[in-house]
Structure 1
Amino acid sequence: MSDTPVNLDELRQKIDRIDSDILRLISDRASCAQQVAKVKQGQDPDAVFYRPEREAQVLRRIMSLNNGPLDSEEMARLFREIMSACLALEQPVKVAYLGPEGTFTQQAALKHFGESAVSLPMAAIDEVFREVEAGAVNYGVVPVENSTEGVINHTLDSFMDSSMRICGEVVLRIHHHLLVADTTLRDKVSRIYSHPQSFAQCRKWLDAHYPRAERIPVSSNAEAARLVKSEWHSAAIAGDMAAKLYGLTPLAEKIEDRPDNSTRFLIIGNQDVPMAGDDKTSLVVAMRNQPGALHALLEPFHRHNIDLTRLETRPSRSGVWNYVFFIDFKGHREEPQVEALLEEVRLRAAELKVLGSYPQGVL
């Protein structure tokens, strides 16, 4: 560092020059994206513009090249928005999500696809699946598990009846706030609205601070925020997006019982995703009802040295006391050792369905 005093005007002029360079380079990137679109359309009129594996590779490369002072995730988020805006020039991505507007699922959708994506709220998880299957949207976003409350069974069950493939994942840190309206009498709060999952994730805080307040479960945190707008004695548990959408103010912030509270969301689509270099694969497997069935299922994973990241059990619809297993593991179905594993599991199982191989969540 030089001991020569730095002139503020000189620094501002330098920032202006850098901003001009950034503007030019972003415009160059956008023009290049338009050229890519023309090449793809020339090769295939039905070309897919959004490539999950390519986006994951670009973001990982940016994070590996970053030397600060911005941290790598913040830098990747900036590039995500640039990529989202450039993709919108080619063809805006339509994304269905579990609504209504202002939910954590919408926040996850925008985190994964960027603010330039067209996000459409659906009333239920199976509606998200139907919209994607019908081709009305390109992708869907559904919650699959929470670090505090566990798996979302409705999402797992929807995969059993659907041909949809998993194309990606996104993990969202969930911060709950106690929100009130401008008209709320803050010392008179006697009723709190929220989704049942959010009540469960904030149980200890509520017991300590509002033990006598009535807890009223509703269909979503966004719905809870909407209800509070018309009542003087109520509050809602919801996140930042719902607070902004409905003009509410936090009475208390980050009231979740566990500071690492996170929810994992899956991106569903109609196409298989090529290898990105750091992938996961998800399966649903039905085993024959016989002694040692679970061992027979899991033993090949150990022998092939494949890392299991999740194992869930759900009742089968084919008979009483029969079960299916939902499995996530590291690796892509096109890798030789994964191909060998899947063939072996297929021979041992009554039924095997590969839900998809996809890039592990970058952000």
Structure 2
Amino acid sequence: MSDTPIDLDALRQRIDSLDNDILRLISERAQAAQQVAQVKTAEDPKAVFYRPEREAQVLRRIMELNPGPLDSEEMARLFREIMSACLALEQPVKVAYLGPEGTFTQQAALKHFGDSAVSLPMAAIDEVFREVEAGAANYGVVPVENSTEGVINHTLDSFVDSSIRICGEVVLRIHHHLLVSSTTRQDKVSRIYSHPQSFAQCRKWLDAHYPGAERVPVASNAEAAKLIKTEWHSAAIAGDMAAKLYDLEKIAEKIEDRPDNSTRFLVIGNQDVPLSGDDKTSIVVAMRNQPGALHDLLEPFHRHQIDLTRLETRPSRSGVWNYVFFIDFKGHRDEPRVAAVLEEVQQRAAELKVLGSYPVGVL
């Protein structure tokens, strides 16, 4: 250790000076954001202020330039909040999500848009789609797949008959906790509420610790958290946001069976997203019922060396075709190589629908 004494007063003065600089620079950034809004509005009264590709580029740049000691993701989260607050000065973003308050979907929405976004809870996934299609919300956030339990079919099916575009993605680490209220008799817990997906993700832990407790599925973890406020013999499985929102105590933390448990959410909107430099594209394809149909669909991707990141099969809802494929792959529809593949798939398929090209999730 150094023999030079640490002058705390000098360090505090240094921090105060830095805080003054940070305050000044954030204020200058906010003023610049207001000027951007004025220019956009003058050019187009219906201008779009939130640009997913631009935000992704800024956050990637911040992470690349970050010198430490703060972790790059932590630094990006700080800038996300600054950008969210500045965007709210231009035009508050309204985001519909699968509610009620306290769900993991709300947590994903805030992670992507920041706390300055106006979040609107919806009772069902198709309501999120309708709210965005009607223009009552600028964007929506819906879950699409979990690393433990797989795809959320309701979300995929909602895309088939909708004109909605995918504008982004969010991956959220999911940590489940066993929660009780202040009136719960913890030694008498005989009923546990949660979403069916959460029960599935915590099955082994529940079998080991509460094998005799009744497992009651409800529409969301947040609803489970609300229910136990009035029952002395009940507990709920939910996350940090629900625990904080409903003032509940965690009696067991991170009870998910897999420590890498995560859920991917999609950000949906009404506009196409330009190239960001690191993008994904999602499509839905209906193929004719004939031998080699799957090979015909996938062969152009292999030949053009395009990386598929997800392939899901769903029964056709129209009855005209037997099945449809949901495919995610790396690249943007405006890239020549991707455009060539989509042209070939269009010729081979009974129907092709591009759900959107969007930036790969940064945080």
TM-score range relative to shorter protein: over 0.9
Q: Secondary structure at the match of 1:255?
A: coil
**Partner Cα separation in structure 1 for residue 188 and residue 321 of structure 2:** 50
What root-mean-square deviation, in Å, do the aligned CA atoms of Structure 1 and Structure 2 show? Answer: 1.0
Counterpart of 2:134, as a letter, is A
How far 1:6 sits from its partner (Å)? Answer: 1.8
Partner of 2:228: 228
TM-score, normalised relative to structure 2: 0.99
1:91 is the counterpart of 2:91: yes
How far 1:2 sits from its partner (Å)? Answer: 6.6
TM-score, normalised relative to structure 1: 0.99
Partner of 2:325: 325
**Partner Cα separation in structure 2 for residue 318 and residue 178 of structure 1:** 42
Partner of 1:269: 269
Partner of 1:72: 72
Partner of 2:338: 338
**Partner Cα separation in structure 2 for residue 129 and residue 326 of structure 1:** 18
How far 1:4 sits from its partner (Å)? Answer: 2.5
**Partner Cα separation in structure 2 for residue 297 and residue 304 of structure 1:** 13
Counterpart of 2:338, as a letter, is V
Deviates more, 1:115-124 or 1:313-322: 313-322
**Partner Cα separation in structure 2 for residue 252 and residue 176 of structure 1:** 9
Counterpart of 2:99, as a letter, is G
How far 1:225 sits from its partner (Å)? Answer: 0.3
Q: Secondary structure at the match of 2:291?
A: coil
Partner of 1:208: 208
Partner of 2:312: 312
Matches within 5 A, 1:349-360: 349-360=349-360
**Partner Cα separation in structure 2 for residue 2 and residue 10 of structure 1:** 17
Q: Cα deviations across residues 167-197 of structure 1 (Å, max 9, x unaligned)?
A: 0000000000000001111111111000000
Note closer, same or farther for the CA distance 1:339–1:3 as it changes in structure 2 (3 Å cut). Answer: farther
How far 1:70 sits from its partner (Å)? Answer: 0.7
1:39 is the counterpart of 2:24: no
Q: Secondary structure at the match of 1:229?
A: helix
Q: Secondary structure at the match of 1:288?
A: coil
> Would you say how many aligned residue pairs link Structure 1 and Structure 2?
363
Partner of 2:177: 177
1:136 is the counterpart of 2:136: yes
Q: Secondary structure at the match of 1:127?
A: helix
How far 1:136 sits from its partner (Å)? Answer: 0.6
**Partner Cα separation in structure 1 for residue 141 and residue 241 of structure 2:** 17
Q: Cα deviations across residues 290-334 of structure 1 (Å, max 9, x unaligned)?
A: 000000000100000000000000000232870000000000000
Counterpart of 1:213, as a letter, is A
How far 1:355 sits from its partner (Å)? Answer: 0.2
> What residue ranges of structure 1 are gaps of 5+ in the alignment?
none
How far 1:3 sits from its partner (Å)? Answer: 5.0
**Partner Cα separation in structure 1 for residue 320 and residue 151 of structure 2:** 22
Q: Cα deviations across residues 253-311 of structure 1 (Å, max 9, x unaligned)?
A: 00000000000000000000000000000000001100000000001000000000000
**Partner Cα separation in structure 1 for residue 23 and residue 103 of structure 2:** 33
**Partner Cα separation in structure 1 for residue 186 and residue 319 of structure 2:** 53
1:58 is the counterpart of 2:67: no
Task: Judge conservation of contact 2:201–2:256 (CA < 8 Å) in 1.
Answer: yes
Matches within 5 A, 1:96-245: 96-245=96-245
> What residue ranges of structure 2 are gaps of 5+ in the alignment?
none
**Partner Cα separation in structure 1 for residue 283 and residue 342 of structure 2:** 9
